[in-house]
Amino acid sequence: MNEHIDGTTRPRKAAYVLVPGFWLGGWAWEKVTADLRAAGHDVHPVTLTGLGDRAHLATAGTDLETHIQDIVNTIVYADLHEVILVGHSGGGGPVTGAADRIPERIARVVYLDSGPLGDGMAWMDMSEPEQRGLIEQQVAGRGGGTGYPPPSWEEHEKAGVSLEGLGEAEREWFASRATPQPYGSMTRPLVLTGGADGLPRTLITCSFPLEQVHAMIAAGHPFFAALAGPEWSFAAVPTGHWPMFSKPAETAAALAALAR
């Protein structure tokens, strides 16, 4: 935090690395990136291997470790330090892994309508049996055995994913650029060394109330118990599951507040 001669305090310049969720590339952060850069921050939206403009690089071997290395390389080759590392939705797994690999370069890990995977867990481990079966069918069919195609909006709603704030224009933008998610990123377990234990972490809820999160933590829910530590802070941008589309200005503001 920088103090100026007029007695006011303004946010310091920070380095942000933004990792999108399933089916998305760095393009999804376009409006959030513009706002953060306008505020003077250094922003690096990431397109993971096999997605977006890197869809042609997808192979049967593209997996969670590939995506972790994508993030690590972005940070190392740009020589970034004190990084605010942000993962949206399915991006929670790879940002957790990247922070574990290079904790000395990370100032804070942020989960945007997301959460950390535990050591030895894969994203598919969190799926109910019925949902897992449907995903496996989609991968074997339209996904050619290696990719999870973007579900229809009706399928999202049936799965309980909030589409709040996504009008026709946002849905068309999403659908026109979304690409199949490399299936290995969903099935390979995360391996952690404990290197990032104690790093500051923030959960920004969007499609579910913050009060619900605190209730789950208090109840010892297995997916929320890890959020009980003193390293955690919480914020909210009430909207649907894709806040970078539905509330980009508010999302950018919530992220910028973490630089103070």
Lowest mean pLDDT: which of 98-107, 219-228, 243-252?
Answer: 219-228
User: If you average pLDDT over residues 40-47, what whole number do you get?
Assistant: 98
Q: How far is CA 125 from CA 24, 190, 225, in A?
A: 21, 11, 16
- CA neighbor of 16 nearest in space, from 148, 110, 130, 128: 110
pLDDT tens-digit readout, 178-234: 999 999 999 999 999 999 999 999 999 999 999 999 998 999 887 788 899 999 999
Supply the CATH number for residue 244's domain.
3.40.50.1820
Total number of domains in the chain: 1
Strand partners, 58: none
CB atoms within 10 A of CB 18: 27
Nearest alpha carbon to residue 240 among 210, 205, 202: 205
Q: Which of 140, 135, 137, 141 is nearest to 123 (CA)?
A: 135
Contact assessment for residue 106 and residue 85, using Cβ atoms and an 8 Å cutoff: yes
DSSP state of 248: H
Q: For residue 38, give both structure tokens.
A: 């306008």
Please give the helix or strand (H or E) that residue 45 lies within, else none: strand 42-45
By percentage, how much of the chain surpasses pLDDT 90? 89
Q: Which of 229, 235, 228, 231 is CA-nearest to residue 257? A: 235
Instruction: Considering only the C-alpha atoms of the chain, give the largest distance between any 2 of them, rounded to a whole number of Å.
Output: 63
Per-chain mean pLDDT for the chain: 94
Q: Which domain holds residue 232?
A: 2-259
- pLDDT the model gives residue 5: 40
Place of tokens 């990123």: 185
DSSP string for residues in 215-246: HHHHHT-TTTGGGGSTTEEEEE--S-S-HHHH
pLDDT of residue 223: 77
Contacts of 62 (CB under 8 A, 6+ apart): 49, 50, 146, 182, 184, 185
pLDDT at 221: 81
Interhelix angle 64-77/92-101, nearest 10 degrees: 60
pLDDT at 141 over 70: yes
The per-residue pLDDT for range 148-171, each reduced to its tens digit, is: 999 999 999 999 999 999 999 999
